[in-house]
A and B are shown apart, each in its own frame.
Chain A
């Protein structure tokens, strides 16, 4: 077609000849004024680009995978290596420990025994370390499989407690269960892991985020408390907490608490032992079960570790397994009142719980004292004073004193018994102290009052005689020898004379056998600084029953009269 064109330069006449002589064909070419967008090119380029991206991405992903796999592989290798090596180490270690035990059973000299025991301690520490490392490896290697099983919460706690009783006893750590279990329902859960976790859990009782397996610092670790949060028909949430009264976890260490092999600082291992694995193992287990774990801590006060193992437990069919109690709880306690004396409030509340179980209420009739408090000097003294305080008044029924202890050696029991009998022996007794020296009177009176006796003082032999006119209420008398006017010997002689007369009168009117004959004979003991002149022989000659040398030690004073009080004294009603 022929079209009108403006641009001359851009016109091109085609020289094409169509071969037709009759028509005059003329073909004129020209450019289009606007260049068309090269859609195809663009699309192609774009698609190409996208494809490149995708390919790149895929390659990248693949590369990462390879790296990961390699990492995993290495890790697996490492763990496997650790595990194998640990296992290999464990076998001969057990051999060593076994041999050491046998060795210690034989006759050894003291140095030999010492060496063997040291070796044993080191061996045990090593074995513990290896076990922990193995556990860690196991968990991280994902080798732990969970199995859902029904379990009885209460019996698990009991089992765990008894598992650790030996260990905690040796460390002087008291490990109790507070026993707040509201749920008596059996829940479906995996039993093995709970037990294992509880082990590690308790092993990892937080002491700066470190295993208590090495710790001997903490006096009391208590309260394995399980609280029932929701007791719905859908499921039960279990919350387990372990509290301790330790040094707490400092702020810096708190992030690292659950990391394996991490302890609060480098001195922790030295001071408390442990390797820092317990809590990390616990965390792994808890998370494996789909729960979470956390802690609350306060420095110098202690920490509480809490975990919710599951979001909810399903209630399983409830089987009542009542353990038959082989003997009845002592019924003598029912209805009686008791005081619980304990330095730490946590343990006191645990004890209180137990006391309530036995059937007493908390007011004094029985006094339960923590063994540690009793045997330590101070509080033992204040307990004595408690008794004294009561004694100054009217007649009272001496409360029974019961010691609470996780463990008690025979020696401690004896000592405690002695202390108690000390109070008993002297309480309610009236003692006369005769000395012309004011200071001496005061000191003697102070000592005797501390034992629980009521003391009266006389400052001369004459005054003593007046006070000891029959009938009198005195159970014993301490007499100074060197006194002006009438010395101790003379006074005693006169007292014995009076007694003799009274006895004769009594015996004259009663014709019975000797058992029922009441004899006046107040135990008189000499107090003397002069052991040369006032010998035991001299004292006995004039009718005294013994002597104590001045200045006296408490024990001597106590012993001297105690033996007279053990036999039946003449009591004054």
Chain B
């Protein structure tokens, strides 16, 4: 049956995301908060994350482009980004942010710029992965199936 195949794909895909370190346990927590009264909780939170992060990344680019870089501001933005990415379980983004913050503390512009690139890269990758995930879920729901719960031994 088609639905079963898609469900299996979804499960495998999600598992691979965990294995590769894109997602961590926090994402599972999010999934647990989703139920009948809140059917799109995860999707909403993740799209909020996308919007928020996009804004932050733009701000960061602008801030680091300034002749005199305001590291406090940069740090604040990165802190924000780190917070939101860890809340949804986007592990790689979060880790990149942590590295970023270290460079901010020592006020190393080169390092910051590199990190910004890294964060952007991770962010776009994560965005891609999430979008694929949601697309699979939508396919399942459209075919009348239910989204399978992932069992993880964390």
Q: Which residues of A contact B (CB under 8 A)?
A: 381-382, 385, 388-389, 436-440, 442-443, 446-447, 449-450, 482, 484, 529, 550-551, 553-554
Contacts and interface: CB of A to CB of B under 8 A. Distances in A.
B52 interface: yes
Given A482-B79, A551-B29, A554-B29, A442 B37 contact: no
Given A438-B52, A439-B52, A443-B45, A551 B86 contact: yes
Interface string B33-65: 101111001001100110110000000000000
B48 A446 contact: no
B84 A385 contact: no
A59 B37 CA distance: 87
Nearest to B45: A442
Given A482-B83, A551-B89, 19 more contacts: A389-B37, A437-B52, A437-B80, A438-B48, A439-B84, A439-B88, A440-B83, A442-B44, A442-B45, A443-B30, A443-B33, A443-B45, A449-B38, A450-B33, A484-B76, A529-B82, A554-B29, A554-B32, A554-B33
Which 5 A-B pairs rank lowest in CB-CB distance, beginning with the nearest? A439-B84, A446-B33, A551-B26, A443-B87, A385-B37
Contact of A382 (B29, B35, B48, B87): B35
A439 to B, nearest CB: 4
A382 B45 contact: no
Contacts of B38: 446, 449-450
Contacts of B51: 438
**Chain B interface mostly helix, strand, loop or mixed?**
helix
B26 to A, nearest CB: 5
B49 A439 contact: yes
A244 B39 CA distance: 36
A438 B55 CA distance: 12
A437 B83 contact: yes
Contacts of B82: 529
Nearest to A449: B38
A233 to B, nearest CB: 57
11 contacts: A382-B36, A437-B87, A439-B87, A440-B84, A446-B30, A446-B41, A446-B45, A484-B76, A550-B87, A551-B29, A551-B86
Contacts of A529: 82-83, 86
Interface of B: 26, 29-30, 32-33, 35-38, 41, 44-45, 48-49, 51-52, 76, 79-80, 82-84, 86-89
A382, A443, A447, A484, most chain B CB atoms within 10 A: A443
A436 B87 contact: no
Given A551-B26, A551-B29, A439 B37 contact: no
A551 B85 CA distance: 10
A383 to B, nearest CB: 11
A439 B87 CA distance: 7
A440 B88 CA distance: 8
A222 to B, nearest CB: 28
Contacts of B33: 443, 446-447, 450, 554
A342 B127 CA distance: 42
A559 B84 CA distance: 23
Nearest to B27: A551
Contacts of A484: 76
Contacts of A385: 35-37
Contact of B48 (A388, A442, A550): A442
A419 B37 CA distance: 18
A389 B36 CA distance: 11
Nearest to A439: B84
A383 B32 CA distance: 15
Contacts of B87: 437, 439-440, 443, 550-551
A447 B29 CA distance: 9
Contacts of B86: 529, 550-551
B19 to A, nearest CB: 20
A152 B30 CA distance: 59
Contacts of B83: 437, 439-440, 482, 529, 550
A388 B84 contact: no
A553 B29 contact: yes
B36 A437 contact: no
Given A382-B36, A551-B87, A439 B29 contact: no
Contacts of A389: 37
Given A446-B45, A482-B79, A551-B29, A437 B84 contact: yes
Contacts of B32: 554
A426 B7 CA distance: 35
B73 to A, nearest CB: 9
Nearest to A436: B80
